[in-house]
A and B are shown apart, each in its own frame.
Chain A
């Protein structure tokens, strides 16, 4: 939660810096071009690859646990696709790309800004932050109604870190491993899936 506040604070202070009028109008984010994105992708890749604990968790589980992230991907894509059907202002590709952040707002918003547009990047930032906050607040309720996987499903990629405490408290310690596994799989998937959806 603390780190999400820091990320959000950087974004908000950027808005105020922009609103202050000290900067020229129509500041172009894309001036930094693809190289900033490539650098970011490379760093994100290294971060994923060099996490020894992640590989260990991924390697030591039975087939059942794999269905957890699979169901979250299917559910998230179905849900966000429905939004495109209801809201005429967004296309299927756009809502699915935002959904494919799975709560990992920092990386997904920057990727989407670079690959698509600033406005969709902002939607991705807000939507994925909201997914994390909603999970923190609603997990007790969701677990009560839908069972022990509900908090993990709601948290998406955040289930491995920021929403893990609330998940393990309400679903039980034994589900913490499931949460970390599912969160890792989804975190790794975010950059690939967002890119795939926006460029295919």
Chain B
């Protein structure tokens, strides 16, 4: 946990020092996308070769949808309070 937070923070700090060098920013984002493409492909492979996971895709699907709908509902609900109390009055 501490290692991960340190690595992330070191990345943010490094990035901050690279401001003003847009080329670096662009290369880093390309590299980040490539890394994510590669890892998602590997995740796909490990799902495809894992019969238990493939058999459970239906269950995984409805769990996923349940979490996203609940997350959206919760977020919309709480943001409505913020809207009513802070933003709407402002508009009047």
Residues of A bordering B, CB below 8 Å = 6-7, 10-20, 23-29, 32, 36-52, 55, 64, 67-68, 70-72, 74-80, 82-83, 86-87, 89-90, 95, 98-99, 102, 106-107, 109-110, 113, 118-119, 121-123, 125-128, 130-131, 134-135, 138, 142, 146-150, 152-154, 156, 191-192, 195-196, 199-200
Count B-side interface residues using an 8 Å CB cutoff: 75
Partner of B73, one of A25, A79, A89, A191: A79
How far, in angstroms, from A195 to B65 measured CA to CA in the complex? 22
Chain B residues with Cβ under 8 A from A131's Cβ?
68, 71-72
Q: In the bound complex, what is the Cα–Cα distance between A37 and B35 (angstroms)?
A: 10
Please give the distance in Å from A50's CB to the nearest CB on chain B: 4
Q: In the complex, are the beta carbons of A18 and B11 less than 8 A apart?
A: no
Of all chain A residues, the one with the shortest Cβ separation from B15 is A49
Given A29-B43, A38-B7, A195-B4, 15 further pairs, Cβ under 8 A:
A14-B44, A23-B49, A43-B28, A44-B11, A46-B12, A50-B19, A50-B25, A71-B82, A76-B75, A83-B67, A110-B43, A123-B63, A125-B40, A130-B68, A149-B83
Assess whether A99 is in contact with B43, with CB atoms less than 8 Å apart.
no
B60→A119 contact, CB < 8 A: yes
A150 CB contacts on chain B under 8 angstroms = 76, 79-80, 83
Q: How far is the CA of A99 from the CA of B17 in the complex (A)?
A: 31
Residues of A within 8 A of B19 (CB): 49-50, 52, 55
Docked CA distance A75–B48 (Å):
34
A–B pairs, 24, beta carbons within 8 Å: A6-B37, A7-B40, A14-B41, A15-B45, A16-B48, A25-B51, A32-B42, A42-B11, A43-B28, A43-B35, A44-B8, A46-B11, A46-B14, A47-B28, A47-B29, A71-B82, A74-B78, A75-B75, A79-B72, A98-B64, A119-B53, A122-B53, A123-B60, A127-B67
